[in-house]
Amino acid sequence: MSNKLVRETGLLGALVIGLGSILGTGAYVSIGLSADIAGDNLVFAILIAAITALMNGLSSAQLAAAHPVSGGTYEYGYRFLSPLSGRVAGCLFVAAKSASAATAALAVAWYISLTFNISAQVVEYIAVSLLLMFTVLVLSGIRRTNWLNALLVLISLLGLLTFIGIGLTSNAISRTDTADSSSLSLFHAAALTFVAFTGYGRIATMGEEIREPRQNIPRAVIITLAVISTIYIAVGYTILHLGGIKSFEQSKFIIATLISNHNWSRLVVIGGVIAMSGVVLNLVLGVSRVILAMARRGDLPAKLANVSSDSKSAPAATWMTFAIMSAIALLGGIESAWTLSAFTVLLYYGITNIAALNVPLSDRFIPKWVSVFGLLSCFGLIALATLSYVIW
């Protein structure tokens, strides 16, 4: 039986994967955290994160087009750098994206517990149940997952557009508590927001399943980032228009909290829950593909490299993904899990940019300065965010 996956995802499917991987955490967790840290500079933090994401996204697209296999920077590190670089990148990806998935699952579980008056002590177990449900969906095959993912994206967009419409047509509210607006806080917020843009990485990690990867992967990355940047900036501006956020711990679903007295607020809440669910779905899929690639090279047990009889899913790798995400959900809180994801994903994309600099000239379609800028922005955000985190 072949261990190769079938190429059955086109440009539209790749776009849906990218959008579905980004929307939930960006609008409901990352921007909420960033608003608390950056204060009135929230939109600038989003812009910095967007520019950083664009540079890193182009480097990812370059690598995925030159070497279109599942595994993302794990495979690129092996191909263009060294085996050690590949192993480090693989571990960073699994840690970062598993933490993101755990964050999204915990956020949905928190809202479910609040809505149905369930004890907060069982939030972690609700999160694990959600992870289990989406693991089963991923195992049903990529095609069925794409149909569900498209529905999740449409409903998520509807919720966000409703929030923006309600917020911008409401009376502006002056902030009475101004967060630290220093440069360090700005970059700290940008680092946390950057994670919310990195759903484009799921497109690259599934390079083996995307048709015409040299054309479709770069297009999907650029279009996805353009759409998401527009949405995030609009959401950030709306949050500031409504007076900002006092405390992340009091507003895990920041959008729903800010318009809780409006008749349409429930639609926004539903959109948020569905957006988070879409994030979990895509992260289970993306992380499992990296584990699959690591098992193929012998960096993980060989049994994790097995795929289903129809070559449309990787059961062993997917169940391992579920186990890792569940462990993080059971041990960590929303804020700590997201912070872990931010720092590890910036390190991961640092390796991505170094690998992109080594792509042969004959295979290049982006100038090297793009990857240099991406590399410097990753390590710069890590340094400045670390300093701000210590002070903050």
List pLDDT tens digits, range 292-349.
888 988 999 999 998 877 767 789 999 999 999 999 999 878 878 888 899 999 999 9
Mean pLDDT of the chain: 81
List pLDDT tens digits, range 224-245.
888 888 989 998 888 888 776 6
Confidence grade of residue 252 (pLDDT, cut at 50, 70, 90):
very low
Q: Higher confidence at residue 262 or residue 30?
A: 30
Distances (CA, A) of 376 to 97, 233, 383: 22, 23, 11
For residue 389, which amino acid is it?
Answer: Y
| 75 within 8 A of 243, measured Cβ to Cβ | no
pLDDT at 204: 67
Q: Is the dihedral of CA 93, 213, 30, 321 positive or negative?
A: negative
Which helix (H) or strand (E) segment holds residue 280: the answer is: helix 265-296
Q: Is the pLDDT of residue 32 over 60?
A: yes
Radius of gyration of the chain (CA): 20
Burial of 250 (0-12, 13-18, 19+ CB in 10 A): exposed
Q: Is the pLDDT of residue 149 over 70?
A: no
Region of 245 (left: φ > 0; alpha: ψ -120 to 50; beta: rest) is beta
Q: How far apart are CA 356 and CA 22, in angstroms?
A: 23
Q: Other C-beta atoms within 10 Å of 80: how many? A: 21
For residue 310, which amino acid is it?
Answer: D
Q: How far apart are CA 98 and CA 338, in angstroms?
A: 10
pLDDT at 261: 62
Q: Residue 210's closest CA among 388, 339, 69, 368?
A: 69
pLDDT at 247: 45
Per DSSP, the three-state class of 210 is strand
Q: How far apart are CA 189 and CA 49, in angstroms?
A: 9
DSSP symbols for 78-122: HHHT-HHHHHHHHHHHHHHHHHHHHHHHHHHHHHHHHHTT--GGG
Residues, the chain, total? 392
Confidence grade of residue 256 (pLDDT, cut at 50, 70, 90):
low
List pLDDT tens digits, range 98-128.
999 998 898 888 878 877 778 877 889 999 9
Q: What percent of the chain has pLDDT over 90?
A: 28
pLDDT at 323: 96
Q: Is the pLDDT of residue 10 over 80?
A: no
Confidence grade of residue 70 (pLDDT, cut at 50, 70, 90):
low
Number of helical H runs and strand E runs in the chain: 15, 0
Q: Is the pLDDT of residue 61 over 50?
A: yes
Residues in CB range of 102: below 8 A, 6 or more apart? 127, 131, 325, 326, 328, 329, 332, 337
Q: Higher confidence at residue 313 or residue 361?
A: 361
Distances (CA, A) of 177 to 42, 43, 72, 170, 242: 14, 17, 42, 20, 13
List pLDDT tens digits, range 368-387.
999 999 999 999 999 988 88
Confidence grade of residue 248 (pLDDT, cut at 50, 70, 90):
very low
User: What are the φ/ψ torsions at residue 389 (nearest 5 degrees)?
Assistant: -65, -40
Take residue 358 and report the two structure tokens written for it: 């080594």
pLDDT at 102: 92
Q: What percent of the chain has pLDDT over 70?
A: 83
Confidence grade of residue 213 (pLDDT, cut at 50, 70, 90):
confident
Q: Residue 386's closest CA among 356, 343, 354?
A: 343
Q: How far apart are CA 96 and CA 85, in angstroms?
A: 16
Question: For residue 110, how far is the Cα from the chain centroid?
Answer: 19
